[in-house]
């Protein structure tokens, strides 16, 4: 079982544990305070527990704001319509429209519960309003406290494994492309490999964003930027693949370019600064420009496409160069700490 798969399993089990503990604890506290509809505190805790710390904090604030809106809306409808089931239908309609407009759709479920309490009991006294407010406060407080506990170490290990997997697959794709320039066959699987890697990078990027949302420091942006850079490089691989397939007759210079790509593939690592590879590429372009001119139209077209391949390789390296140059001291410390730990 891979490190990333283990992390997903741990994450799901840990979330289920937090929901179970949080729901029962909120219910128990509400019972101790002799609140009506005490079980609703557990439901609110369940609905507020998110997969990220920041998500829980943001949703908790929205819960409190929409609680007062729910109370006011129920009070108005109760005094205007006087039909409980119709009151509730209109309440849900208006509440959903308002929450959608504000971008707070995730608050609708709890508002539906609170609204049902007010409209079923038809009790708008201060005591009952306080009862419902306490249910909300207990539920969101338990959710906030429990989401302070997160398996960040396991999640980071999964992200690091994803980085290594990305580098390995990029190296294999580059070697396949280099092989084509050496007159080796290149099947459709290369295109499929690039597409599959792009899809995986989208997943990895989501994991990096989730990891950032579960920490209260800025350095996890390092992982987000890393996967963004690799996604950009994947776009270059698409261009390389398409241009190589258009070369109908490989010129003699193709072998030199293949050797360069092979060497470059050895440096597809996390922290490699591609400055040296860029300098070597410029020398290669310069030397090719000094060679004798093509004699036929087909040779000219093939040489031109090969030149485009070299410029795509330059783009590939520049994306990595910008990533390395953008790393600040704090982000570099993340990498260095992992190196010391042997990750």
* Across 33-62, average pLDDT: 85
Q: What pLDDT does 277 receive?
A: 92
- Which of residues 55 and 198 earns the better pLDDT score? 198
250 pLDDT exceeds 90? no
- Give the residue extent of every domain in the chain: 3-146, 153-341
pLDDT in tens, 134-159: 999 999 999 888 887 766 666 777 88
CATH architecture of 153-341: Up-down Bundle (1.20)
Q: What is the 3-state secondary structure (H, E, C) of the chain?
A: CCHHHHHHHHHHHHHHHHHHHHHHHHHHHHHHCCCCCCHHHHHHHHHHCCCCHHHHHHHHHHHHHHHHHHHHHHHHHHHHCCCHHHHHHHHHHHHHHHHHHHCCHHHHHHHHHHHHHHHHHCCCCHHHHHHHHHHHHHHHHHHHHHCCCCCHHHHHHHHHHHHHHHHHHHHHHHHHHHHHHCCCCCCCHHHHHHHHHHHHHHHHHHHHHHHHHCCCCCCCHHHHHHHHHHHHHHHHHHHHHHHHHHCCCCCCCHHHHHHHHHHHHCCCCCCCCCHHHHHHHHHHHHHHHHCCCCCCHHHHHHHHHHHHHHHHHHHHHHHHHHHHHCCCHHHHHHHHHHHHHCC
Rounded average pLDDT over 92-120: 90
């Amino acid at each position: 079982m891979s490190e990333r798969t283990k992390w997903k399993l741990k994450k799901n089990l840990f979330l289920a544990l937090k929901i179970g503990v949080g729901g029962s604890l909120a219910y128990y506290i509400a019972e101790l305070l002799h609140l009506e509809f005490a079980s609703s505190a557990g439901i609110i805790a369940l609905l507020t527990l998110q997969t990220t710390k920041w998500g829980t904090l943001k949703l908790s604030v929205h819960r409190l704001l929409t609680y007062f809106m729910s109370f006011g809306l129920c009070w108005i409808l109760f005094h205007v319509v006087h039909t409980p089931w119709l009151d509730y239908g209109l309440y849900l309609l208006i509440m959903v429209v308002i929450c959608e407009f504000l971008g707070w759709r995730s608050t609708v479920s709890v508002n539906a519960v609170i609204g049902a309490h007010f409209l079923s009991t038809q009790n708008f006294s201060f005591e009952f309003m306080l009862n419902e407010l306490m249910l909300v406060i207990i539920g969101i407080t338990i959710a906030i406290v429990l989401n302070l506990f997160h398996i960040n170490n396991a999640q980071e290990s999964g992200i690091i494994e994803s980085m290594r997997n990305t580098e390995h697959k990029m190296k294999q794709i580059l070697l396949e492309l280099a092989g084509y320039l050496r007159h080796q066959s290149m099947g459709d699987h290369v295109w499929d490999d690039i597409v599959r890697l792009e899809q995986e990078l989208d997943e990895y990027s989501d994991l990096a964003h989730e990891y950032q949302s579960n920490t209260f420091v800025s350095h996890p942006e390092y992982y987000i930027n890393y996967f963004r850079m690799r996604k950009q490089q994947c776009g270059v691989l698409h261009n390389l693949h398409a241009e190589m397939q258009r070369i109908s007759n490989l010129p003699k210079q193709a072998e030199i370019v293949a050797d360069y790509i092979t060497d470059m593939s050895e440096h597809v690592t996390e922290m490699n600064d591609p400055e040296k590879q860029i300098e070597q590429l410029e020398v290669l372009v310069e030397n090719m420009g000094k060679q004798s001119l093509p004699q036929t139209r087909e040779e000219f077209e093939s040489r031109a496409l090969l030149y485009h391949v070299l410029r795509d390789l330059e783009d590939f390296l520049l994306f990595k160069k910008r990533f390395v140059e953008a790393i600040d001291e704090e982000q570099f410390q993340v990498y260095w700490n992992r190196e010391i730990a042997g990750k």
